[in-house]
Structure 1
């Protein structure tokens, strides 16, 4: 049995006293962000600058202090993250371990990871330190995932802050599960909407077998819908990933491989689904695991990076056939963009005509 190791208040390996702490993981009893003001006026009253990285995923907000959110702002932020997939913040130096936990608990119970090292004071805060991982762990084509999707009630939101970053490299990329679903043909959508998939902790079982480490709790396997409804937005999203989804239930192994390979290939290769974030010290990313996938870019060694993450447990995944889609919701946004462009062109033409008449 591996010994307990503590370094700088980080618990690396479980002992008998804490080998069951992750077994207290539970599910959300409410949906954070549900039913808030669609315009999110309380949240955006504090926003000094908004940068949308792409049309459908990824936004950076300035002027927000995550430690100073009101209850209304926190609820509206949860809804905004669900809509945008991932939201970024800079210069959040006061978000220490205690504040990190406090923020996450506003949205639900916090997950305790069964294997990843965590803070001694706050076991809900996992430590993502590149010095604790073998160099060959990273592979951008095989490491796209949704956090702890193997749990019966997987994560709703994750909150990640990096306090040590490499001089270059080390970005994180997210992919849009809403758009992946929207772009599928109707026959494939119909097929997938009737399927479930088993998500497993196999990768952690392999690590455990190689190292002899005791886990902080049970390594779960769970079955979830392949197409999932996000309860905040009401939009459909693909919910499989290359790290934790072991197989499609009720089909042959060949069919399962074909489906998963196809979806994983779309996730990793379709650039229009993706948004990439360049970390700075004290940057924070908050994302919705129900509708996005993410991976770290393995281009920063020999530099190191150190991040702390809080993972909020969500509801048991479900699929509602009457759910809407991001594509449908985006139609009004697209019309507004076109109208704004047309108005600008008309104003430009008018000024040109006025100048011509004056000449």
Structure 2
């Protein structure tokens, strides 16, 4: 999409000041009823690259603009399992098709402050050259999209058309794995807590720039540990950008909890994957179970992309939820068995086709 002045709304007006007030929650859980083997989706996949055993996958051969309803449903389930899924060479996916894909999963969110596409207000334009300059065009702090809303994001779909010659990666952190790494006593303690997520960061930007909003800047309380409705797994659901405080504890206790969890999100590399963008690459992630951050190391190069955000359900915690760690035991055993079989075959081949001797 070529940028023109008509593409961007830089501030709200009386005509569009209530656009974001139309935001609502999803009425169904996209992906929950998908084929567990995802046969329709993987029929198009020519290559799969897992960025880590549990988290982050790049799929080749899939054309997002051409997905069937069944494939998009299975993709939603796969994203929930892998956290974030990457695609290359998506030239055919324009912003209208991004919106079409997102709308299959739920109502599209209209951001209350960030600049919009004029024709489709649910489309956010992320352009490092937008004026006035602001860090929100390249958010460099770990967060989950729009967690301040009563029904925060389920999925986000981000495509970059213009990328810098160097720098400008995006990183994601696995909220499932973060939860699984905590001690049982701390898990139990956090499961009983809620936290207030606030849009104060946008109120500050509004005061500094004088921008009008597209609707109300909300504050909402959500469980600290959230159940993903697709996988049924528990994940840590607080973030350094939007989570203001832990409810019903002292200020010092709230600060300690948020700093501790924020430190795990940002600094524990075992929870993270990092994506190097190419022109027309797309990333789709599940905000219910991941955190992400842009890496603002690319200036003076230009970076420009399009994001569509899907509103999900109202966050909840189910004490009977499972965990990624439990579900992964079967996968881990299969990986070990595959490796052992390969090693055995190699040993037999080196022995001239004879079975290896044992002690």
Which TM-score applies when normalising by structure 1?
0.95
Instruction: Mark the runs of 5 or more structure 2 residues left unpaired by the alignment.
Output: none
Corresponding position of 1:15? 13
Q: Deviations over 1:59-101 (max 9, x none)?
A: 1111111111111000000000000000001111111121111
1:88-167 alignment runs, 5 A limit: 88-132=86-130, 137=135, 143-167=141-165
- Count of equivalent residues: 352
SS of 1:162's equivalent in the other structure is strand
Output the aligned Cα RMSD.
Answer: 1.7
Looking at structure 2, the residues matched to 64 and 82 of structure 1 have their Cα atoms a distance apart, in angstroms, of 18
Looking at structure 1, the residues matched to 134 and 34 of structure 2 have their Cα atoms a distance apart, in angstroms, of 44
Determine if contact 1:62/1:89 at 8 Å carries over to the other structure.
yes
Corresponding position of 1:189? 187
Query: Shift in Å at residue 54 of structure 1?
Result: 0.8
1:235 and 1:133, CA in 2 relative to 1: closer, same or farther beyond 3 A?
farther
Determine if contact 1:81/1:286 at 8 Å carries over to the other structure.
yes
Determine if contact 1:142/1:243 at 8 Å carries over to the other structure.
no
Instruction: Mark the runs of 5 or more structure 1 residues left unpaired by the alignment.
Output: 1-5
SS of 1:46's equivalent in the other structure is coil
Moved more, 33-42 or 344-353: 344-353
Moved more, 95-104 or 289-298: 95-104
Looking at structure 1, the residues matched to 133 and 68 of structure 2 have their Cα atoms a distance apart, in angstroms, of 41
Which TM-score applies when normalising by structure 2?
0.95
Query: Shift in Å at residue 130 of structure 1?
Result: 1.1
Q: Deviations over 1:267-318 (max 9, x none)?
A: 0000010000000111100000000000000110011101100000000000
Looking at structure 2, the residues matched to 133 and 267 of structure 1 have their Cα atoms a distance apart, in angstroms, of 31
Corresponding position of 2:40? 42
Determine if contact 1:142/1:242 at 8 Å carries over to the other structure.
no
1:355 and 1:336, CA in 2 relative to 1: closer, same or farther beyond 3 A?
closer
Looking at structure 2, the residues matched to 216 and 138 of structure 1 have their Cα atoms a distance apart, in angstroms, of 16
Does residue 309 of structure 1 match 2:307?
Answer: yes
Determine if contact 1:141/1:268 at 8 Å carries over to the other structure.
no
1:250-269 alignment runs, 5 A limit: 250-269=248-267
Q: Deviations over 1:22-66 (max 9, x none)?
A: 000000000000021111000000101111111111111111111
Looking at structure 2, the residues matched to 111 and 163 of structure 1 have their Cα atoms a distance apart, in angstroms, of 21
Q: Which runs of 4+ in 1 moved over 2 A?
A: 132-142, 352-357
1:134 and 1:13, CA in 2 relative to 1: closer, same or farther beyond 3 A?
closer
2:240 pairs, out of 239, 242, 257, with 242
Corresponding position of 2:337? 339
SS of 1:47's equivalent in the other structure is coil
SS of 2:15's equivalent in the other structure is helix
1:278-357 alignment runs, 5 A limit: 278-354=276-352
